[in-house]
Structure 1
Amino acid sequence: MSANITVHLMRHGEVHNPQRIVYGRLPNYHLSEKGQQMVRLSAEEFKRRADAGSRFVYLACSPLTRTQESAAPITELLGLEAHHDERVIEADNYFEGMHVDAKELATNPRHWKHLLNPLRPSWGEPYQEQVERMVGAVRDTARKAYELGGEGAEAIIVSHQLPIWLTRLSAEGKAYPHDPRTRECNLASITSFHFDELDGSQRPTLSYTEPAAPLYSGVIQLPGS
């Protein structure tokens, strides 16, 4: 049975983080002023699509502060309540709460055991575990969208860079280990998963947009964001 369901994974906006801490799952890291502008642009893009005929029926987000704040303008413009989903939270990270640079990694022996296996990775939540929870959340959200809106319905999940990127790699059938600098998942970007079927028999097709691209100049991005 054809479903024609789309689930959009939106990354949160820029976070106020002048000390450049790997904030990971820490609470109370809020969007910066520019971050608020970024997510507003993405929400306005969803509203533009809704005005053109897209049917958005469900909104979910990670329970962290920055994703809740990023979902807020979507709630305002589309009238969708944001449902918290623990499965789309940021990856666990050994370096959470630290300011980490190349010198710190090279000269502090207590970090070295956490750098031995980049394929797992040894510094945090295994890639495979992130994929399993994220794919489960995306597929459940797709089914929820179908239940609420039928064929052609769309849903939005506000999440974090690494979990979104790994979900994309999984959908593309690619290996999970990667260089973080190569991720195509910028701040407030939208990675869309288009499902023709909901039984898992087919991989979704993908599309990617950056509504907040005009605001990217000068932004500093860190792992664990």
Structure 2
Amino acid sequence: MRHGEVENPTGVLYGRLPGYHLSELGLRMADQVAEHLAGRDITHVVASPLERAQETATPIAKAHGLDLASDARLIEADNVFQGKTFGVGDGALRKVANWKHLTNPFRPSWGEPYVDIVVRMMQALDAARDRARGHEAVLVSHQLPIWTVRSYVERRRLWHDPRKRQCTLASLTSFTYRGDRIVSVGYSEPARDLVPAHLLAGAKPVKGQGKAFGA
């Protein structure tokens, strides 16, 4: 699960910075997803150590009478622009000081390598699978790590256009295992009615969504 909306009035790229909590809307998103999952056979809930992920996971754990676990492998991707405003149209690409960080979009040169994200996220997925074997687990993380590991599992290239990620606020990306192997991936948005319309605009269906990978 991706965390809910964050209180971020200055619009910075908050990354791994502490002190960024869910907004009132984000808390409502977390509650709505918890209600959506209330009837599921969930025996393990684990989240990134960042506040927004912990706050998103809390009502889910509470609804199932579980202690909330923390896993640093689920944390947001590292980024050199953390704490700054950096986005399309804000002039950041025209700042010479930023150019040295923008030389290789395939790695990427401005942050944690995609391959490193895949390794730690797969480790977190496998650990949760083992902890909840025969049942279900909920892991709360962040958009880029979730999208990167999904792209790896669905055999897509890891570098991509961030505007085309299918991983909106409070969405669920589901990995189904048979034994130790992922056999299918699904995606849903149980809090879609709460997500601001402009954030849903780019959430188009992805080829291979729900794809099964065999026995």
Answering whether residue 190 of structure 2 is matched by residue 190 of structure 1, we say no
Partner of 1:120: 107
Residue 59 of structure 1 and its aligned partner are, at CA, apart by 0.8
Gaps of 5+ in 2: 201-215
Partner of 1:76: 62
1:166 to 136, 148, 170: 148
Mapping for residues 183-222 of structure 1, pairs under 5 Å: 183-198=165-180, 202-218=181-197
Answering whether residue 90 of structure 2 is matched by residue 99 of structure 1, we say no
Between the aligned partners of 1:41 and 1:203, the Cα distance in structure 2 is 27
Gaps of 5+ in 1: 1-9
- Contact 1:41–1:211 (Cα < 8 Å) also in 2: yes
Report the AA paired with residue 179 of structure 1.
Answer: D
Richer in helix (by share):
1
Residue 18 of structure 1 and its aligned partner are, at CA, apart by 1.1
Partner of 1:144: 131
Residue 158 of structure 1 and its aligned partner are, at CA, apart by 0.5
CA deviation map 1:179-213 (0-9, x unaligned): 01111111000111000121xxx443011110110
Partner of 1:24: 15
Between the aligned partners of 2:90 and 2:56, the Cα distance in structure 1 is 33
Q: Residue 42 of structure 1: SS of its match in structure 2? A: helix
Between the aligned partners of 2:90 and 2:5, the Cα distance in structure 1 is 25
Residue 217 of structure 1 and its aligned partner are, at CA, apart by 2.2
Aligned length: 199
Report the AA paired with residue 177 of structure 2.
Answer: F
Report the AA paired with residue 33 of structure 2.
Answer: S
Between the aligned partners of 2:195 and 2:106, the Cα distance in structure 1 is 30
Residue 173 of structure 1 and its aligned partner are, at CA, apart by 1.1
Q: Residue 91 of structure 2: SS of its match in structure 1? A: helix
CA deviation map 1:141-164 (0-9, x unaligned): 101111xxxx3x000101000000
Give the TM-score normalised by the residue count of structure 2: 0.89
Between the aligned partners of 2:42 and 2:61, the Cα distance in structure 1 is 11
Report the AA paired with residue 155 of structure 1.
Answer: A
Larger RCO (alpha carbons 8 Å, 6+ apart): 1
RMSD: 1.4
Give the TM-score normalised by the residue count of structure 1: 0.85
Identity of aligned residues (%): 45
Between the aligned partners of 1:219 and 1:81, the Cα distance in structure 2 is 35
2:117 to 106, 125, 130: 130
Report the AA paired with residue 90 of structure 1.
Answer: E
- Contact 2:105–2:159 (Cα < 8 Å) also in 1: yes
